[in-house]
Homo-oligomer: A and B are copies of this chain.
Amino acid sequence: MTGEPVFAALSDATRRTLLTRLADGGPATATQLAAELPITRQAVVKHLEALREARLVTSARAGREVRYTVTPEPLADAVGWIADVGGQWDSRLAALQAQFSSPRAK
């Protein structure tokens, strides 16, 4: 069974904000990200950990800093799942099934 933890990771608004921030703002540390949000650094760390378990970000230590970077492969998998579900109901989604085939969809 696939088990799409990506959706669980994207279910939280703060995590989506972090993702977009990392996507078009470039890699950053938890302290930096916390400075731009109304929550503490620890909360950001927990969210980044959740994103890391969903393989949506990777962490790389540089000296005393830990820099987080986007890794969008799971997003493509999520698109594949969506295409498989909605393909027979939506023509646009059906078009995606060719490129984003998820292996375990029947």
In the complex, are the beta carbons of B106 and A93 less than 8 A apart?
no
Question: Within 8 Å of chain B (Cβ to Cβ): is A36?
Answer: no
In the complex, are the beta carbons of A89 and B106 less than 8 A apart?
no
Please classify the interface of chain A as helix (H, G, I), strand (E, B), loop, or mixed, using the class held by over half of its residues. helix
Taking CB atoms, residues of chain B closer than 8 Å to A86 are: 23, 70, 72, 75-76
In the complex, are the beta carbons of B20 and A85 less than 8 A apart?
yes
Kindly identify, within residues 68 to 105 of chain A, every residue whose CB is under 8 Å from any CB belonging to chain B.
70-73, 75-76, 78-79, 81-83, 85-86, 88-90, 92-93, 95-96, 99-100
- What 0/1 readout, one digit per residue, does chain A (3-30) give for beta carbons within 8 Å of chain B? 1100110110100100110011000000
Shortest Cβ-Cβ A-B pairs, 10 listed? A72-B86, A11-B11, A7-B10, A75-B86, A8-B11, A72-B90, A72-B89, A7-B11, A23-B85, A75-B82
